Structure 1
Amino acid sequence: MKKVVNILKYVLLLAVSVFLMWYALRSINFAAVQKELGQVNYFWIGATLLISVAGYLSRAVRWRMQFKPLGYHPSLGQTYHALMVGYLANIVLPRAGEVIRCTFLKRSANVPVNTSLGTVITERVLDLLLLVSCIGLTLLLEFDRLHGFFEEIFSSKYKGLEANLQTLYILMAVGLAGALIMGWYIFKNIKRLRQNSLFKKISHFMRGIWQGIASVRKMDQKGAFVFHTLFIWFTYFLTSYLAFFAMPGTSHLTWQAGMAILVVGGIGMSAPVQGGIGVYHILVRTALLLYAIPLDTGMAYALLVHTTQAILVVTMGVISLLVSLANNKKTAAALT
């Protein structure tokens, strides 16, 4: 039954992606888009792909650094291959890639999955903080152009939240009461629960996750960790900005516009659909309208950047998957 539910969930997400992509393309002049794409300077696209590879390697280095304080020492190759397999999985199964990359690292480097998940949670919190910081910086730089755009994105969510505020309060109260009752029950029965095998497993799993989250505090190379965090987001910015020069219709845009596309594209890619398909295209083409870029040109830019980056992730992910499977077979053969 669980497998059927999971299959239905992913089919529904795929249907949502297809619908959003149709919505993004429905008012597009395909001849104009084709003309724009026919004039692409692939030197700049190649540059963005190389920069993206540098960003992935930096993320793998940063992820590896998080394990040292915990007593685990995966190689850079192991963290890199697990990371890219996770990105590949995210294209097919949104958000499943985080668990899958931790599973692959368990197989290749024997790092517990719960510990890896804790480090991934830290990553995601940092990514959220950097995205929010970039949104704030972009609004300061381009307030006149973008405040209405972001207001429309977030106000619709706020209005929906406001309309259901009473329900939200009730749910929060029920959740808090449930948490307090559960906490009281655990406290009163802690000695007996410690003898329960299921409780032991859950407690051990949660302890590992917390250790992974707290690994940053114990890290020796905090400066290097901060550098890689900033460098990763700098590569995201360069990918958005340098791609402007690949098309005549966007080559005149400034680095401030690149910041705008960075944050808008980041919001699109964080949507819970396969690879941000549809959402990314809609948001990016709409944001480019604010810079007097025609809808067709904006869509051509979104298609070019999203498609080339997706091809890169699929290519690197498949290679990493094959390498990881081959290495796991060698390890299993050596142990028998």
Structure 2
Amino acid sequence: MHNLTPEEKKEIYASFLSANYFWVLVSILIGVFSHLSRAIRWKIMMEPMGYNPGIKNTFMAVMIGYFANMALPRLGEVTRCGILARYEKIPIQKSFGTVVTERGIDLIMLSLAFLLTFLIHIDKLALFKTTTIYQNAADKFDHIENPGMIYWIAGAALILTGFLFFRMRHKISHLVIYQKIKEVILGFTEGLKSLVTIKKPFWFIFHSINIWVMYLLMTWIVFFSLPETSHLNLGIGLAVLVFGSIGIIVVQGGIGIYPWIVAEMLAIFAIPDTKGYAMGWLLWTGQTLMIVALGLLSMALLPVLNNKTKRNEFSGIQQ
């Protein structure tokens, strides 16, 4: 990433201010539906285990989880499971197993999206070898004489750790950390089993696909907010979604790196750097504001709505 000149920074700022924010708001609305779809899918995954959480609590747990993830990696997964444990009486190890399984499904969907992006833009992505993204990544490993050795060492360390854990399991079975790991593994196993015994396979598949369709639409629709990007098609939106998602995974919340990746990606499609950066910041800002707003709103409403439900149930018992 080259250092932006003061003039370029002014141009990015001007584009950011002059953007049509109607399309950013539409993107946020689409994003809400994607998260609602995720909440419904999570609810479907827990039904085979005998749990039927309310959709309101499930949705708010998902949004608070996203908000928590902005603070610390993977904190959101534990947080949303803790919320259902408190308000829906679902053991954390049970719901956490479905969350881990859910992340596996998301990884598969992202891989498929990446493959589709590669097939659509194979000629353009070949140019990536000359872009800043590729060069920066390559520079990190230029000083390593045998990069493949890193993978062998990491693999051997992982196998050795697993072997020692298996051999010493009886000696360490009384430790709290062993019990926690065991609970997580059992929960993950139940999460996988829930896929086999899913009660609503059609809706499970529908929402798994719909989540990513909504992600694509909420990315592409923002292109209309700038005249220079309004002509870009869904295929380019898919490329931005895929590589932008990788940036969010690599850096917590995608802070800083997400707009850069968007700019580098759009540069391949002849969009000036300044407009690419502006688009990256528009996308990142819209998504971040949505998560912060809905996360805070969910934190405020969750105890209120559940207390109201309890009062209504208590009144019904008295009558």
Does residue 1:307 correspond to 2:285, yes or no?
A: yes
In structure 2, how many angstroms separate the alpha carbons of the residues matched to 1:110 and 1:119? 15
Q: Give secondary structure in 1 for the equivalent of 2:51.
A: coil
1:154 Cα deviation (Å)? 10
Query: Against the structure 1 CA distance between its residues 30 and 128, is the aligned structure 2 distance closer, same or farther, given a 3 Å change threshold?
Result: same
Is 1:294 paired with 2:272? yes
| Aligned residue among 56, 63, 66 for 1:84 | 63
Normalising by structure 2, what TM-score? 0.86
| Counterpart residue identity of residue 228, structure 1 | H
CA RMSD of aligned residues (A): 2.9
Cα separation, partners in 2 of 1:166 and 1:223, compared to 1, 3 Å: same
Deviations 1:140-182 (A, max 9, x none): 1111111332792896399578834335424433432342243
* Maintained 8 Å contact 2:97/2:184: no
Maintained 8 Å contact 1:60/1:83: yes
Show structure 1 runs of 5+ residues with no match: 1-22
Match of 1:56 among 11, 21, 35: 35
Could you say if the C-alpha distance between residues 204 and 64 of structure 1 is closer, same or farther in structure 2, counting changes exceeding 3 Å?
A: same
| Alignment CA distance shift 1:309-1:202 (3 Å) | closer
Distance 2:167 2:73 in 1: 36
Q: Is the 8 A contact 2:44 2:199 kept in 1?
A: no
- AA in 1 matched with 2:94: T
| Corresponding letter in the other structure for 1:254 | N
**Structure 2 residue aligned with 1:179:** 162
* Number of residue pairs the alignment of both structures matches: 307
Cα distance change of structure 1 residues 298 and 178 upon mapping to structure 2, 3 Å threshold: closer
The verdict on how the C-alpha distance between 1:217 and 1:45 changes in structure 2, with shifts beyond 3 A counting, is: same
**Judging changes above 3 Å, is the alpha-carbon distance between structure 1 residues 61 and 154 closer, same or farther for their aligned structure 2 residues?**
farther
What TM-score, normalized to structure 1? Answer: 0.82
Please give the alpha-carbon distance, in whole angstroms, between the structure 2 residues aligned to 1:236 and 1:48.
9
SS of the residue 1:249 aligns to: coil
Q: Distance in 2 between matches of 1:229 and 1:31?
A: 41
In 2, distance between residues paired with 1:157 and 1:183?
Answer: 39
| Aligned residues of 1:24 and 1:278 also touching (Cα < 8 A) | no
Structure 2 unaligned residues grouped into runs of 5+: 315-319
The whole-number CA distance in structure 1 between the counterparts of 2:292 and 2:53 is 23
Aligned to 1:10: none
Greater shift in the superposed pair: 299-308 or 172-181: 172-181
Instruction: Give yes or no for contact 1:94–1:272 (8 Å, CA) kept in 2.
Output: no
8 A Cα contact 1:24 1:282, kept in partner? no
1:249-288 equivalences under 5 Å are: 249-273=228-252, 275-288=253-266
- Whether contact under 8 Å (2:30, 2:217) holds in the other structure is yes
Question: Percent identity of the aligned residues?
Answer: 33
- Give CA-to-partner distance per residue, 1:222-243, whole Å, 9 cap, x none: 1111110111100111111111
| SS class of match (1:92) | coil
Whole-Å Cα distance in 1 between the matches of residues 50 and 156 of structure 2? 40
Q: Kindly provide the amino acid, as one letter, of the partner of residue 145 in structure 1.
A: K
Distance 2:14 2:137 in 1: 36
1:1-336 maps to which residues of 2 (within 5 A)?
26-27=4-5, 29-149=8-128, 152=134, 156=138, 159=141, 163-186=146-169, 189=170, 196=174, 198=176, 202-273=181-252, 275-327=253-305
**Residues 86-114 of structure 1: CA distance to partner in whole angstroms, max 9, x if unpaired?**
01111222321111111111111111111
Q: 1:125 to 1:322 in 2, by over 3 A?
A: same
1:163 is paired with a residue whose SS is coil
Amino acid at match of 1:222: P
- Alignment partner, residue 18 of structure 1: none
Distance across 1 between alignment mates of 2:180 and 2:134: 45
